Amino acid sequence: MSMLKKYIEQRGRTLDLEIVHFLGKRIIRKADKIGKKLKNKRITPSDQCVIDFIEECNVIRYAQLPKIFNDLQTKYDLEIEYAYLQQLDHLQISRVFDCRTFGEVLTTIGKSIRTRNKYKKWLYQAPLSFKKIRLTIGEFLICILMVIMLIVFKFNS
């Protein structure tokens, strides 16, 4: 049971450390979709979906992000570099392009957090994702090993 607890704790730790990165990727993806609609003139900059997205980015920036950074500092003793915080301070979110820039900054901060993590081993570096399935490299290797063993035992008997 203790191995399972360690695994769950390690998996939770890696997901905690990557939350900023995935938050940035989600914002970029949504900004690209809205930007494509704006480019094709299916919506206007004053439409409700654009205004809601800009408000969502501002809520993330002013309400959720300080809490996430505080949790990272208290749990893992990680400090965000001053240059990144300064970039966030200078950013004014009033357009969809500003939201995309905000997402790019979050992705950059998330990558820097991932590379500075002192708890992470090579097995947990990059999750492999396909649609809804997310596996770390270690989990992926274990799955491949189990499939190979299944094939070998199936053909031997």
Pair 19, 91 in one domain: yes
Higher pLDDT, 101 or 121: 101
Which residues are bridge partners to 134 per DSSP? 129
H or E stretch including 42?
none
Pair 96, 152 in one domain: no
Residues in contact with 14: Cβ distance below 8 Å, sequence separation at least 6, in sequence order:
120, 124, 127, 136
Pair 127, 51 in one domain: no
pLDDT score, position 123 = 45
**For the chain, how many structural domains are there in total?**
2
Domain that holds residue 38: 2-120
Give residue 5's pLDDT band: very low, low, confident or very high (50, 70, 90). confident
Whether the full predicted model's pTM is greater than 0.95, yes or no, is no
Long-range contacts of 102-105 (CB under 8 A, 24+ apart): 102/24, 102/27, 102/57, 102/61, 103/23, 103/24, 103/25, 103/26, 103/27, 103/28, 103/31, 103/57, 104/24, 104/28, 105/24
Pair 129, 115 in one domain: no
Pair 63, 109 in one domain: yes
**pLDDT tens profile 121-142:** 444 444 555 555 666 777 778 8
Pair 98, 129 in one domain: no
**Lowest-pLDDT range of 6-20, 87-101, 113-127:** 113-127
pLDDT score, position 29 = 95
Pair 96, 55 in one domain: yes
Give residue 32's pLDDT band: very low, low, confident or very high (50, 70, 90). very high
Give residue 143's pLDDT band: very low, low, confident or very high (50, 70, 90). confident
Pair 101, 80 in one domain: yes
